C-alpha cells in the first residue's frame, strides 16, 4: 500500500511539534492509522483518495497565508479539515480533536486595545459612528428537516434552518460565528447565550478595574446623524407617492416622535410636547418633509413634456372600481388639493398648457408649498428677536417680574399695589403664565417653568371668579392659563382643571356674577366665554385670542 506523502508530512510535523506525553502518543497513533489506511477508508473520511488529496497543490497559492505572523495554518491542514467536515458532517469540536485545530485558529474576536482601536477607527471612517467594534447580524442556513425536534428548526418563513450569528469588522473579516441554534431561536437569545457577550463583558470589567472608561451612550449628535441618514430614509421610503390619510399621518408622527424622544433622553411620562422636542433638537417635522417632497415630485410632473410616461399616467383618468385596500383618494387629487391650499387653483386638464412657455410664470409647486409652510409654520420662540436684545432687555425684564411675586405664588396687579387679592388675566398670575412659558422655551431654564406651575396652583385655588365669565377678568381667562400649561407639559392635570373651569362657564348666569359693561364683547362678555369653551374641543391647539401665538 502506497503511503500518502501529504498525510505523512502533516502527521510528522504534528508529532515533532507536539509536547511529550499524551499529545505525542495521540499523534503517533494517528500517524500509524493514516499510513495503514486503505483508499476506501480515506474516501469514507475525506471523500477523496490519496491522488485526490494531492490536488491541494492546485489551490496552495490561494489558501497560503502571505506571512508567518500568528502561526498561520498550513494549506494541507486547511484542506484536510474542510474535506473531513464536508465528508462526515462532524462539528467543530470533533474536527478539532482529529486535526489539532479549533475555531479560534481561524476566527477570534479581538480583545486587546490595539486591535479594538483599529477596528473602531475603520468603522468611524466608513459610517461616522464612534465606538463600533463589529457589525453583527443573523442569517438562516436552510437545512433538511431533522428527525428529532423538527418543529424548533422551523423559522418565521416556515423553512427549516439553523440561525447563524456572524460578526464582521470594517474589512469584512469574520470575528465571531455561532452556528448551533435552531431556526426558531430569536437573534437576541443567541447573542445573550453566546461567548461573545461574555468576552465583551469580561473585557469591559477589566477595563473598569484598570481605570479605563467605556462610553456606552452615543452622543446626541451621533443619534441625530443616525436619524437623518438611516431612520428617516427607511421610514419614508417611496413617500413621494403616498396618499397621506389621517391614519398614515398619525403612524408617521408616532414613529418619528418615538425616535426623537429617545434622542432627547425623554419618555412619554415626561409629557413634553412634540414641538418643544423638535425645537430643542433642531429638526423639522417629518410630515413637513414628506409633503415638501411630494410637491417637488408634483412640480417635476408638471414640467414634464408631453409623451413622457410618468406625465401621461399623472394626467390620465382611469375608470373602474377601486381595488380593496387602496386609498379612496387618488394621488393626483391629493396633490392637487395640497397645491390649491398653498397657491390657488391650477388647470390640470389642459395637457398642452402644462409645459407651455406661457405657463413658466406659474408658481412651481415645491417652491409655492415651501413659501406657504414658512408663512404658516410656527417660528421657534425668539427666532425674530435679536440675541443681544433678548439677553440685555427681555431676560432682565422677565426676571424683574419674577422677583415681584408674592409668597403665595400670585403677582401684584401693579408696581405700587402690594395687595395679594386679584387673580385675573389682566391683574395677577393668569396673565404672567404665558410670559413664563415663553421664557422657558427661549432660555431653556427650569426656573421659569417652575414659576408657571406655581401660578397654576394659585389659579386652581382662587381662580373661580364672581366678577364675570370673560377672558379679561373672568373665569374663562383664568382657564386659558391651564390650557397653556397643558400644551407645554401635556400633563392631564391641567386639562382636567381647564374642564372644571369650563363647567363653571357652562352655568352662565347662575353664580351671581356681575354683569359687564359690554356683556357680549370678546374680552369682557359672553363672546370670550364661548371662545374658551370652543377651545376645549381641541385643547392642544388652543391659544388666548389676540395674545398667544
The pLDDT tens digits for 66-90 are: 777 666 777 777 777 777 777 776 5
Q: In this structure, are 221 and 248 located in the same domain?
A: yes
Domain boundary among 354, 378, 402: 378
Kindly state whether residue 182 falls inside one of the protein's structural domains.
yes
Kindly state whether residue 90 falls inside one of the protein's structural domains.
yes
Q: In this structure, are 203 and 231 located in the same domain?
A: no
DSSP string, 428-453: SHHHHHHHHHHHHHHH--HHHHHHHH
CA distances from 364 to 298, 301, 312, 323 (A): 9, 11, 19, 32
Condensed to tens digits (0 to 9), the pLDDT of residues 260-292 reads 888 888 887 777 888 888 888 888 888 887 877
**Is 11 part of any known ligand binding site?**
no
SS3 345: coil
Range of the domain at 354: 217-319+327-378
**pTM strictly above 0.85:** no
Q: In this structure, are 368 and 440 located in the same domain?
A: no
Q: In angstroms, rounded to a whole number, what is the distance separating the alpha carbons of residues 485 and 285?
A: 22
Instruction: Order the strands of the 161-168 sheet from edge to edge.
Output: 135-142, 161-168, 174-182
Q: In this structure, are 146 and 200 located in the same domain?
A: yes
Domain boundary among 209, 238, 259: 209
SS3 179: strand
Question: Which residue has better confidence, 71 or 192?
Answer: 192
- Which residue, among 57, 114, 46, 138, has the nearest Cα to 86 in the 3D structure? 46
E strand spans, 71-148: 135-142
**Number of neighbours of residue 201 by Cβ within 10 angstroms:** 10
Longest pairwise C-alpha distance within the chain: 124
Kindly state whether residue 522 falls inside one of the protein's structural domains.
yes
Q: What is the pLDDT of residue 45?
A: 73
Kindly state whether residue 160 falls inside one of the protein's structural domains.
yes
CA distances from 32 to 15, 53, 80, 468 (A): 11, 18, 17, 109
**Is 472 part of any known ligand binding site?**
yes
Q: In this structure, are 417 and 497 located in the same domain?
A: yes
Q: In angstroms, rounded to a whole number, what is the distance separating the alpha carbons of residues 80 and 318?
A: 66
Q: In this structure, are 348 and 455 located in the same domain?
A: no
**Is 473 part of any known ligand binding site?**
yes
For residue 365, pLDDT over 60 is answered with: no
Contact 341, 372 (CB under 8 A): yes
Condensed to tens digits (0 to 9), the pLDDT of residues 284-334 reads 888 887 877 777 777 777 777 777 887 777 777 767 776 676 666 676 777
For residue 364, pLDDT over 70 is answered with: no
Kindly state whether residue 547 falls inside one of the protein's structural domains.
no
Q: In this structure, are 172 and 98 located in the same domain?
A: no
Kindly state whether residue 154 falls inside one of the protein's structural domains.
yes
Q: In this structure, are 222 and 371 located in the same domain?
A: yes
Q: In this structure, are 349 and 236 located in the same domain?
A: yes
pLDDT band with cut points at 50, 70 and 90 for residue 29: very low
Kindly state whether residue 99 falls inside one of the protein's structural domains.
yes
Domain boundary among 209, 238, 254: 209
CA distances from 215 to 204, 218, 261 (A): 10, 8, 21
Contact 423, 458 (CB under 8 A): yes
Q: In this structure, are 266 and 332 located in the same domain?
A: yes
Condensed to tens digits (0 to 9), the pLDDT of residues 48-61 reads 777 777 777 788 88
Q: In this structure, are 188 and 274 located in the same domain?
A: no
Q: Which three cell numbers stand for residue 128?
A: 461616522
CATH number (domain holding residue 433): 1.50.10.10
Kindly state whether residue 546 falls inside one of the protein's structural domains.
no
Q: In this structure, are 350 and 224 located in the same domain?
A: yes
- How many structural domains does the chain have? 4
Q: In angstroms, rounded to a whole number, what is the distance separating the alpha carbons of residues 201 and 195?
A: 10
Q: What is the pLDDT of residue 24?
A: 45
* Beta strands 174-182 and 161-168, pairing class: antiparallel
For residue 362, pLDDT over 60 is answered with: no
- The C-alpha R_g of the chain, in whole angstroms, comes to 37
For residue 213, pLDDT over 50 is answered with: no
Rounded to the nearest integer, the mean pLDDT of the chain is 74
Contact 243, 330 (CB under 8 A): yes
H-only helix segments in 141-194: 187-193
Amino acid at each position: 500500500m502506497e503511503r500518502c506523502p501529504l498525510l505523512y508530512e502533516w502527521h510528522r510535523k504534528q508529532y515533532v511539534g507536539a509536547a511529550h506525553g499524551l499529545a505525542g502518543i495521540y499523534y503517533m497513533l494517528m500517524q500509524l492509522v493514516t499510513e495503514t489506511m486503505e483508499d476506501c477508508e480515506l474516501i469514507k473520511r475525506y471523500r477523496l483518495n490519496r491522488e485526490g488529496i494531492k490536488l491541494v497543490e492546485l489551490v496552495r497559492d490561494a489558501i497560503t497565508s502571505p506571512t508567518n505572523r500568528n502561526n498561520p495554518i498550513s494549506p494541507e491542514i486547511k484542506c484536510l479539515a474542510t474535506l473531513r467536515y464536508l465528508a462526515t458532517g462532524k462539528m467543530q469540536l470533533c474536527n478539532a480533536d482529529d486535526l489539532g485545530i479549533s475555531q479560534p485558529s481561524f476566527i477570534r474576536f479581538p480583545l486587546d486595545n490595539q486591535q479594538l482601536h483599529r477596528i473602531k477607527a475603520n468603522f468611524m471612517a466608513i459610517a461616522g459612528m464612534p465606538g463600533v467594534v463589529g457589525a453583527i447580524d443573523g442569517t438562516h442556513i436552510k437545512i433538511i428537516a431533522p428527525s428529532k425536534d423538527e418543529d424548533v428548526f422551523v423559522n418565521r418563513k416556515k423553512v427549516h434552518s439553523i440561525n447563524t450569528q456572524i460578526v464582521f469588522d470594517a474589512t469584512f473579516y469574520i470575528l465571531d460565528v455561532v452556528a448551533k441554534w435552531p431556526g426558531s431561536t430569536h437573534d437576541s437569545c443567541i447573542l445573550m447565550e453566546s461567548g461573545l457577550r461574555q468576552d465583551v463583558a469580561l473585557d469591559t470589567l477589566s477595563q473598569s478595574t484598570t481605570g479605563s472608561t467605556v462610553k456606552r451612550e452615543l452622543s446626541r449628535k451621533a443619534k441625530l446623524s443616525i436619524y437623518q441618514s438611516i431612520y428617516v430614509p427607511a421610514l419614508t421610503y417611496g413617500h413621494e407617492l403616498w396618499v397621506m390619510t389621517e391614519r398614515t399621518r398619525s403612524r408617521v408622527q408616532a414613529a418619528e416622535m418615538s425616535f426623537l424622544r429617545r434622542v432627547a433622553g425623554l419618555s412619554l411620562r415626561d409629557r413634553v410636547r412634540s414641538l418643544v422636542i423638535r425645537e430643542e433638537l433642531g429638526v423639522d417635522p417629518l410630515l413637513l418633509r414628506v409633503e415638501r417632497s411630494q410637491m417637488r415630485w408634483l412640480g417635476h410632473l408638471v414640467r414634464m413634456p408631453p409623451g413622457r410616461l410618468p406625465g401621461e399616467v399623472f394626467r390620465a383618468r382611469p375608470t373602474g372600481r377601486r381595488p380593496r385596500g387602496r386609498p379612496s383618494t387618488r394621488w393626483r387629487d391629493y396633490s392637487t388639493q395640497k397645491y390649491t391650499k398653498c397657491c390657488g387653483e391650477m388647470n390640470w386638464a389642459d395637457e398642452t398648457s402644462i409645459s407651455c412657455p406661457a405657463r413658466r410664470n406659474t408658481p412651481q409647486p415645491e417652491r409655492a408649498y415651501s413659501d406657504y409652510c414658512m408663512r404658516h409654520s410656527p417660528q421657534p420662540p425668539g427666532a425674530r428677536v435679536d440675541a443681544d436684545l433678548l439677553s440685555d432687555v427681555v431676560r432682565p425684564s422677565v426676571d424683574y417680574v419674577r422677583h415681584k411675586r408674592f409668597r403665595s405664588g400670585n403677582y401684584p396687579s401693579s408696581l405700587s399695589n402690594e395687595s395679594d387679592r386679584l387673580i385675573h388675566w389682566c391683574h395677577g398670575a393668569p396673565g404672567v403664565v404665558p410670559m413664563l412659558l415663553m421664557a422657558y422655551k427661549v432660555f431653556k431654564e427650569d426656573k421659569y417653568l417652575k414659576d408657571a406651575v406655581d401660578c397654576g396652583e394659585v389659579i386652581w385655588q382662587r381662580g373661580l371668579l364672581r366678577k364675570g365669565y370673560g377672558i379679561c377678568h373672568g373665569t374663562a381667562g383664568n382657564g386659558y392659563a391651564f390650557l397653556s400649561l397643558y400644551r407645554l407639559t401635556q400633563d392631564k392635570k391641567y386639562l382636567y382643571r381647564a374642564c372644571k373651569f369650563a363647567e363653571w362657564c357652562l352655568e352662565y348666569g347662575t353664580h351671581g356674577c356681575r354683569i359687564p359693561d359690554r356683556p357680549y364683547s370678546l374680552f369682557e362678555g359672553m363672546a370670550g366665554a364661548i371662545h374658551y369653551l370652543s377651545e376645549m374641543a381641541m385643547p392642544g391647539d388652543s391659544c388666548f385670542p389676540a395674545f398667544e401665538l
